[in-house]
Structure 1
Amino acid sequence: MSNDQMTKIYVLDTNILLHEPFAFLNFQEHDVYIPMIVLEELDAIKDRKKDVSRDARIAIRALEEALKDATPEEIADGVPMNKYQSEHGSTGRLAIYPDHLLSQDRVTLPGPENDNTIINAALHLQKDKSPQHVILVTKDINMRLKAKGAGLERVEDYRTDQLISDLKYLSTGYVEVEGDFWSKVKSCDSETEGRETIHTVERAALPPTLFVNQYLFDQTKGFAGKVIEHDDKLVKLKDLGYDRMMGRHAWGISPKNFHQAMALDALLDTSIDLCLLTGPAGSGKTLLALAAALEMVVEKGIYEKIIVTRNTPEIAESIGFLPGTEEEKMAPWLGAISDSLDFLHRHDECREGSTRYIIEKANIQFKSVNFMRGRSIQKSIVILDECQNMTSSQLKTIITRAGEGTKLICCGNLAQIDSNYLSPLTSGLTYIVERFKDFEGSATVHIAGVMRSRLASFAEKNL
């Protein structure tokens, strides 16, 4: 058997199990080794009063479930993971590596650091298991560098939650067709239902990658539409009209460019339950989301309340050190919402009074993400701001809170990630944009262009 066909050994760092507690089940036919020091780190983390402690406890319980009937000898040699009581495709073995038994003469990296112990365990396995490939998996960039410097041949990041290889492949939610759209269409069946016109055109006339609720517009500004249905041969397009979209408004706000017009269309469409807005700072994501929410709650009465939340920075994860109620504690982190509310009522005689009145009238509630778990939210609009700092599992927690008649709006800028553990490719926002892109109940719009000011626009392009 060649090296390429041989099963591999993956050594997992602690941060992999914190990032995804069931990660050890995702290595198919290959074997997974977990050093003893990783279990000690999980044990130290599980009692911390932070969100990460929950992931540590889940990981410990998952490992216990996988190894509960095994003898000490079997745990050292590896227990087949197909015994684990859940649906997964793993046929390899799971072993706990006794790195505390490594003798000093076999230690490559000296020092008491836990990272060094894990690297030493991987190096030891690399020597003992040759020619089998041993791969250390960690999300810590510095640890990957240290491991390579110490002589470990294979070190990888954990990428099962990474659906694209480069941010340029991330769906924008729209396609701009070169020239005149209708000049490329050979045959078209159009039908009008009430005020809506649906065109059925051949798939061959359109760009190769299409999905439901994707917007299409052409460079001549003669056509703007949205994909309603598609198969291998035909595509149904709802005719939206370029000028009609630019003429729409919500709570006194009109789109400044066509990207904002597409975002506003998705926000005001009650058939879309999940609206994902990406784009640079100052593109108008939060302002449009709030304006559309106020329009649908106060003016149209479609929803009953607005819940505004965002992921607080890790230093304030418990939000306990700030005084006051939950809403008062969240106020500093939700400054963008307060600024947007203030801007929407800038022409009123008494701006403060108007803002307070609207907060009561629209029943706007400020909530912390940490306290959203376990709730069921009905007939509401939930605005989740700054969600580029959230993991896919955190976003899943929020999305699964949405009950009947609830619309969720996720806003984020992938160029402004504050988390130490996330990159634009591993952000939960990137993950859900890709996962939901062909779901009929969701729409994505990347708002290009900075509308805040010429200063902000120049900084976005040149800094």
Structure 2
Amino acid sequence: MVKEQKKRFVLDTNVLLHEPLAIYSFKEHDVVIPMTVLEELDQIKDRKKDVSRDARVAIRTLENCVGDAPPDLLLQGVPLNHPNAPDESLGKLAIFPDHQVTFANPVNLPGDNNDNRIINAALYLQQQSSEQIVLVTKDINMRLKAKGAGLEKVEDYRTDQLVDDIQFLAKGFCELEGDIWSQVSKVSSEKVGRDTYHTLMRNELEEESFYQNQFVIDQGDDFCAQVKSVNDRQLVLKDLSRDRLMSYHAWGIHPKNIYQGMAMQALMDPEIDMVILTGPAGSGKTLLSLAAALEQVVEQRLYDKVIVTRNTPEIAESIGFLPGTEEEKMAPWLAAVTDTLEVLHKQDESPAGSLQYIMDKANIQFKSINFMRGRSIQNAFVLLDECQNLTPSQLKTIITRMGEGTKLVCSGNLAQIDSTYLTAVTSGLTYIVERFKEFDGSANVYLNGVVRSRLAKFAEQEL
């Protein structure tokens, strides 16, 4: 086995903002942080934005690694030691004084902005070192500039990227061609209470992979099942039946297609702790989630309250300047939820009275993501909307707040990402879809099809 050549990775600021613990992601290779990156982190850490927290975490991580190292050792590199994996073999971390760089040959970019200074630092190291120098940045334009300036190796930060293309993202269901029973030669069925379970030989189905709580449908009129156990030899399916799924109802809402039926089943299943709903605008993500929340809080009394929260880029800097309580401040960003409540009660004799009554009865609380940290949320139905704009680390922070008896619904549209540093493949929503698909307490469903209106459907397809 040929040992891989050791590399030195020069990190851009946006990498540390995207993943504050990124310095531990490069295994046995060395990591270089230009002084300009530290200055940018210092400028960002005091801003009234959500990204300031990531800057502070990155700074603390660097400080913990550097410790009491003397200046000369800091230039050479101090050993990296991951606090959560102390036995892992890692390289070194060096702080590079890029302001002092002078070139023997005039190949450097003008030092009039921070991107150029970081690129110049990588170019200087490439000239001086026999090791391969790699600039890592999430800025596409910076990658182009670096290549144009002569840097041999430039990369995006992909350590937390679990799929290469969004088309490969797990949809939460598989659609088998033809009739499933025509493909299976042997099946063992068992009735447990009201439910029927089918045990099949794994190699008889052409689908490449199955995972826990994945839905399975075919091109017939009735079959629909959910994976409850899978290994190399056998597949155990819980028979759901399309008719049964389409007859689900929550707060007066019925599924309009089989995809909404699968989502409704996951939302109403008390054994599922987290449901992830993806899909285009108008596919029913918020409507189904809120209807299921009201049904289980008000009618079934499985939970004590409904907590609604979402991420918007402007919340951190704008919410403090709005008048009123936290709920009142959040109202402009949660209009999609209040619109949905109005839809659910538009046929009432007094919609406004019904709306306020249900808000009180279901104990619906609007919360800012900024105020979710440090909490332990118990016995609640939590709706996290628009989470395509969250990073993996931000979503981890929120998910770890969920306590006993709490159900979390994460929803979003990967085609509507507003964050500067996120793409569909690096979004936290994509990350949790892939990370949680093997967890028996979660289910995800891609809601295929726009049901809001024919206008919305046409716009989604043609624009």
Give TM-score, length-normalised by structure 2. Answer: 0.96
SS at match of 2:95: strand
Rounded to whole Å, the distance in 2 between the matches of 1:173 and 1:142 is 35
SS at match of 2:259: helix
- Which position in structure 2 is the counterpart of 1:261? 261
- Which position in structure 2 is the counterpart of 1:326? 326
Map residues 334-373 of structure 1 onto 2, 5 A cutoff: 334-373=334-373
Residue identity opposite 2:407 in structure 1:
K
Query: 1:376/1:5 Cα in 2 relative to 1: closer, same or farther (>3 Å)?
Result: closer
- Which position in structure 2 is the counterpart of 1:32? 31
Quote the offset at 1:439 in angstroms. 0.5
- Which position in structure 2 is the counterpart of 1:458? 458
Rounded to whole Å, the distance in 1 between the matches of 2:102 and 2:199 is 72
Matched, 1:109 2:125: no
Map residues 422-433 of structure 1 onto 2, 5 A cutoff: 422-433=422-433
Matched, 1:129 2:113: no
Q: Structure 1, residues 297-348: CA drift from partner, whole Å, max 9, x if none?
A: 1111111110000002236545112221110111110111111100011111
Quote the offset at 1:251 in angstroms. 0.7
- Which position in structure 2 is the counterpart of 1:180? 179
- Which position in structure 2 is the counterpart of 1:81? 80
Rounded to whole Å, the distance in 2 between the matches of 1:427 and 1:99 is 31
- Which position in structure 2 is the counterpart of 1:99? 98
| Contact 1:26-1:90 within 8 A present in 2 as well | no
| Contact 2:66-2:78 within 8 A present in 1 as well | yes
SS at match of 1:319: helix
Quote the offset at 1:411 in angstroms. 0.8
Matched, 1:162 2:158: no
Rounded to whole Å, the distance in 2 between the matches of 1:103 and 1:177 is 63
Rounded to whole Å, the distance in 2 between the matches of 1:208 and 1:143 is 38
Map residues 161-240 of structure 1 onto 2, 5 A cutoff: 161-206=160-205, 207-240=207-240
Instruction: Report which stretch shifted further, 55-64 or 418-427.
Output: 55-64
- Which position in structure 1 is the counterpart of 2:294? 294
| Contact 2:48-2:317 within 8 A present in 1 as well | no
- Which position in structure 1 is the counterpart of 2:398? 398
| Contact 1:67-1:75 within 8 A present in 2 as well | yes
- RMSD in angstroms over aligned alpha carbons? 1.7
| Contact 2:9-2:31 within 8 A present in 1 as well | yes
| Contact 1:25-1:90 within 8 A present in 2 as well | no
| Contact 2:163-2:425 within 8 A present in 1 as well | yes
Quote the offset at 1:390 in angstroms. 0.7
Residue identity opposite 1:283 in structure 2:
S
Rounded to whole Å, the distance in 1 between the matches of 2:128 and 2:371 is 48
Instruction: Report which stretch shifted further, 245-254 or 58-67.
Output: 58-67
Q: Structure 1, residues 341-388: CA drift from partner, whole Å, max 9, x if none?
A: 000111111111111111111110011111010111111100011111
SS at match of 1:373: coil
Quote the offset at 1:174 in angstroms. 0.4
| Contact 1:283-1:450 within 8 A present in 2 as well | yes
Rounded to whole Å, the distance in 2 between the matches of 1:316 and 1:63 is 25
Query: 1:11/1:443 Cα in 2 relative to 1: closer, same or farther (>3 Å)?
Result: same
Rounded to whole Å, the distance in 1 between the matches of 2:168 and 2:127 is 39
| Contact 2:50-2:316 within 8 A present in 1 as well | no
Residue identity opposite 2:204 in structure 1:
A
Residue identity opposite 1:436 in structure 2:
F
Matched, 1:381 2:360: no
- Which position in structure 2 is the counterpart of 1:42? 41
Rounded to whole Å, the distance in 1 between the matches of 2:436 and 2:360 is 33
Q: Structure 1, residues 135-193: CA drift from partner, whole Å, max 9, x if none?
A: 11011112111111211111111011100000011000001111111111211111112
Rounded to whole Å, the distance in 1 between the matches of 2:77 and 2:428 is 33
Rounded to whole Å, the distance in 2 between the matches of 1:78 and 1:447 is 49
Query: 1:251/1:85 Cα in 2 relative to 1: closer, same or farther (>3 Å)?
Result: closer
| Contact 1:106-1:124 within 8 A present in 2 as well | no
Query: 1:85/1:213 Cα in 2 relative to 1: closer, same or farther (>3 Å)?
Result: closer
Instruction: Report which stretch shifted further, 260-269 or 396-405.
Output: 396-405
Residue identity opposite 1:349 in structure 2:
E
Give TM-score, length-normalised by structure 1. Answer: 0.96
Quote the offset at 1:293 in angstroms. 0.7
Matched, 1:270 2:275: no
Overall identity of the aligned pairs, in %? 63
Q: Structure 1, residues 407-445: CA drift from partner, whole Å, max 9, x if none?
A: 000110000111111100010000000000011000000
Rounded to whole Å, the distance in 1 between the matches of 2:420 and 2:65 is 30
In structure 1, the gaps of 5 or more residues are none
Residue identity opposite 1:347 in structure 2:
Q
Residue identity opposite 2:233 in structure 1:
K
Q: Structure 1, residues 66-116: CA drift from partner, whole Å, max 9, x if none?
A: 22242222111122224x544163421211111121137666111321111
| Contact 1:318-1:370 within 8 A present in 2 as well | no
Residue identity opposite 1:46 in structure 2:
K
Rounded to whole Å, the distance in 2 between the matches of 1:265 and 1:85 is 40
Residue identity opposite 2:85 in structure 1:
E
Residue identity opposite 1:169 in structure 2:
F
Residue identity opposite 2:196 in structure 1:
T
- Which position in structure 1 is the counterpart of 2:6? 7
Instruction: Report which stretch shifted further, 33-42 or 251-260.
Output: 33-42
Rounded to whole Å, the distance in 1 between the matches of 2:90 and 2:250 is 54
In structure 2, the gaps of 5 or more residues are none
| Contact 2:308-2:383 within 8 A present in 1 as well | yes
Rounded to whole Å, the distance in 2 between the matches of 1:86 and 1:457 is 47
